[in-house]
Chains A and B, each alone.
Chain A
Amino acid sequence: MNKVELCGVSLKNPVIAASGTFGFGEEYKEYFDIGRLGGISGKGLTINEKQGNNGIRVYESRGGMMNSVGLQNPGIEKFINVELKEMLKHNTAIIANVGGSSIEDYMAAIERLNNEPIDILELNISCPNVLCGGMAFGIKSGVAYDMVREVKSICKKPLMVKLSPNAEDIVDMAYKCCEAGADALSLVNTFKGMAVDIHKRKPIFNNIYAGVSGPAIKPMALRMVHEVCKAVNVPVVGMGGISSFEDAIEFIMVGAQAVGVGTANFIKPDICIDIIEGIESYMIKEGIKDLSEIRGII
């Protein structure tokens, strides 16, 4: 009953496990049937394997958390040969999230993924934890436009661009990405934040800045999704601090086609199921037959 379509791909429900919080699904299968998810957006991939950042990688902030993983991932080749094969067993939409530090990296990764059985390609131009690691492309709309245009010219999959809330102007950014050919948008990635160790008189994170996620960012994320949904015609996957079905419904009411659940997976590993079931009972209770009845009503 709450099936949704996302750039030509049919999702059994609007709940997608967000990139970077769900591995490639393997670790969560002991806690619930992964096939019940609308989709999985896998851990951000780069053309070559990456070991990620040194130093502290996680720090809890009020109402949320900060991470500085730095795109640690097995690389595209190993992903295709190992993790993707496991993901395919789950009967859920597969979104491959791709990052990089140069346009050549992105192009090589996309070329390699073009003929693999993934449903959607999510272009990560928003990772705050790698120098030039994606987010460099996600700050200025002009830079993002050129990047998306190049990628779109070779990409054979539906292309979803994941936006950073750190963009100079989120609406202009969204608009330019669509103009450059994005088939969908997902937002928001983490907010750039920082924390200081006052005893050492140094930043907590080696990279100084880190990505803030969790319930604390939800109001800002919701506002951005609202603004973007008003400005573009492509479907938007809304995310940022979603931890309950009520949060998910809020994002749908401001216009999101589907929603991403990230940090909440750490609080309770099967929270996506609670959210999926919560949406279903809400729909029954409110007499909603299709989510389109409430989508974008605000």
Chain B
Amino acid sequence: MKCLVAKTYENVLISEGVYKLSIKGKFNVKPGQFFMLKVGEKEPLLPRPISVYDVDDEKISFLYQTVGGGTKLLSKLKENDELQIMGPLGNGFDIEKIKGKIAVVSGGIGIAPLIYLIKKLRDCDIDLYAGFKAVDYSVDSVEKYVNKINLSTESGKIGHKGYITDLIVPQKYEVVICCGPEIMMKKVISMCNDAKVPVYVSMESHMACGIGACLVCTCKTKAGNKRTCKDGPVFDGKDLMFNDILEVGSTATKEMI
């Protein structure tokens, strides 16, 4: 793990308010890990945790939605612009534990870490369930890695009209992987727990240090408080407790993203 100043490879708008930022350099990253990104010396003060979307020999890519001050600043980066990057951080997915027939379930920008995971999984038969508010993005990049892509939008314009959780039948799978809004992950975990199917989720949280020292990104588990940044962001769904939904990304706290 390092904290260094890196250069932007490219930063492209891929859907309304959603950008793909690529940074020059060679990085060794596990799917599900994240980096703390910070542009400039001044505001916003704290770096922003962004999960890894793709890695190749010359660059690392991140998918992010412009929500608050930090991500808006990221969206202004141009080729060769510098930014501070720190990582890879967090545990990432244990891909050895993910085998057989699996369902990958995403909600909105939660698809970002799952795309890289899908590309890295071996010996898996994958069905992707991707829910979006209005339009889908980035799912086509994994077409060749998956069996079936199930889409949903709230408007019904693309795919199923409603929520992606309407479409999942956990019993059909050996493992379920999920990343999205907390309310959706809660629903998926509860469905999987009922069906006794293992479920791994990648949690999101507002962070400060990103390395496990400050204890602001607490995630409640049956074994007590865990640090989303260091003990997570990937957790076993059966260990999590959701009685304290933090609503990351809600209107009031969006400036933290």
User: Taking beta carbons and an 8 Å cutoff, which residues of A are in contact with B?
Assistant: 20-23, 26-28, 30-31, 43, 51-52, 54-60, 62-65, 67, 69, 72, 197-200, 204, 214-215, 263, 265-270
B36-80 near A? 1/0 per residue, CB < 8 Å: 001000011111000000000000000000000100000000000
User: Which residue of A21, A54, A215 is within 8 Å of B244 (Cβ)?
Assistant: A54
A67 CA to B211 CA, complexed, in Å:
16
Query: Are B45 and A267 in touch, CB under 8 angstroms?
Result: yes
Which of B44, B84, B208, B244 sits near A67, CB closer than 8 Å?
B208
Contact A21/B1 with A197-B251, A215-B45 known, Cβ cut-off 8 Å: no
A-B contact pairs, 26 of them (CB 8 A): A21-B214, A27-B230, A28-B211, A30-B1, A43-B213, A51-B224, A51-B225, A54-B244, A56-B253, A57-B215, A58-B208, A58-B216, A58-B256, A60-B45, A62-B43, A64-B45, A197-B251, A197-B253, A199-B251, A204-B253, A266-B45, A266-B209, A266-B210, A267-B46, A268-B84, A270-B3
Would you give the shortest CB distance from B215 to chain A, in whole angstroms? 5
Contacts A69-B215, A200-B252; is A266 near B46 (CB within 8 Å)?
yes
Residues of chain A within 8 A (CB-CB) of B253 are 56, 59, 197, 204
- Which A residues lie within 8 Å of B84 (CB)? 268
A67, B214: Cβ atoms closer than 8 Å: yes
Name the B residues within 8 Å of A31 (CB-CB): 1-3, 211
CA distance A133 to B1 in the complex (A): 35
Q: Give CA–CA (A237, B215) in the complex, Å.
A: 24
Which residues of chain B come closer than 8 Å to A69, judged between CB atoms?
214-216
Contacts A54-B244, A63-B45, A215-B45: A72 and B212 contacting too (C-beta < 8 A)?
no
Contacts of A64 in B (CB 8 A): 45
Q: Which B residues lie at the A interface, using CB under 8 A? A: 1-3, 38, 43-47, 69, 84, 86, 206-218, 224-225, 230, 244, 246, 250-253, 255-256
Given known A-B contacts A55-B244, A56-B246, A199-B251, A65 and B46 have beta carbons under 8 A apart: yes
Cβ-neighbour of B38 out of A57, A204, A267 (below 8 A): A267
Q: In whole Å, how far is B71's beta carbon from the nearest beta carbon of chain A?
A: 13
Given contacts A23-B212, A31-B211, A60-B44, 5 further A-B pairs with CB under 8 A are A26-B213, A54-B244, A198-B252, A263-B45, A266-B214
B209: contacting residue among A63, A204, A269, CB under 8 A: A269
Instruction: For B208, list chain A residues within 8 Å (CB).
Output: 58, 65, 67, 263, 266
Give the complex CA separation of A21 and B209 in angstroms.
Answer: 8
B252 and A269 contact, CB distance less than 8 A: no
Question: Which residue on A lies nearest to B245, using beta carbons?
Answer: A55
Q: A52-B218, A72-B218, A269-B86 are in contact. Are A27 and B213 (CB under 8 A)?
A: yes
**With A267-B38, A268-B84 in contact, do A21 and B218 touch (Cβ < 8 Å)?**
no
* Residues of chain A lying within 8 A (CB to CB) of residue B218: 52, 57, 72
Chain A facing B: main interface SS? loop
Cα–Cα, bound, A215→B42 (Å): 10
With A27-B209, A266-B209 as given contacts, are A60 and B216 in contact (CB-CB < 8 Å)? no
B46 CB to nearest A CB, Å: 6
A58 vs B225: C-alpha distance in the bound complex, in angstroms? 16
* A23, B230: Cα distance in complex, Å: 12
On chain B, the residues within 8 Å of A52 by CB distance are 215, 218, 225
Q: Give the distance to chain B from A282, nearest Cβ to Cβ, in Å.
A: 19
Q: Tell whether, in the assembled complex, residue A268 and residue B209 are in contact, meaning their CB atoms are under 8 Å apart.
A: no
Contacts of B244 in A (CB 8 A): 54-55
Q: Which single residue of chain B is at the shortest CB-CB distance from A54?
A: B244
* A59-B256, A67-B208, A200-B252 as given contacts; A72 in contact with B215, CB under 8 Å: yes
User: Is the beta-carbon distance between A58 and B252 smaller than 8 angstroms?
Assistant: no
B38: chain A residues within 8 A (beta carbon):
267
CB distance from B109 to the nearest CB of A (A): 20
Known: A27-B209, A31-B3, A268-B84. A197 touches B214 (CB 8 A): no
Q: Considering the complex of A and B, which 4 residue pairs feature the smallest CB-CB distances, nearest first?
A: A197-B252, A23-B213, A58-B216, A57-B216
Per the bound structure, the CA–CA distance linking A269 and B35 in Å amounts to: 13
Query: Chain B residues near A200 (CB, 8 Å)?
Result: 252
Measured in the bound complex, the distance between the Cα atoms of B191 and A42 in whole Å is 42
Return chain A residues, CB-CB under 8 Å to B86: 269
A263 neighbours in B (Cβ, 8 Å): 45, 208
* Complex alpha-carbon distance, A26 and B209, angstroms: 13
Q: Which A-chain residue is minimally distant from B209 (CB atoms)? A: A266
Asked if A67 and B216 make an inter-chain contact with CB atoms under 8 angstroms apart, the answer reads yes
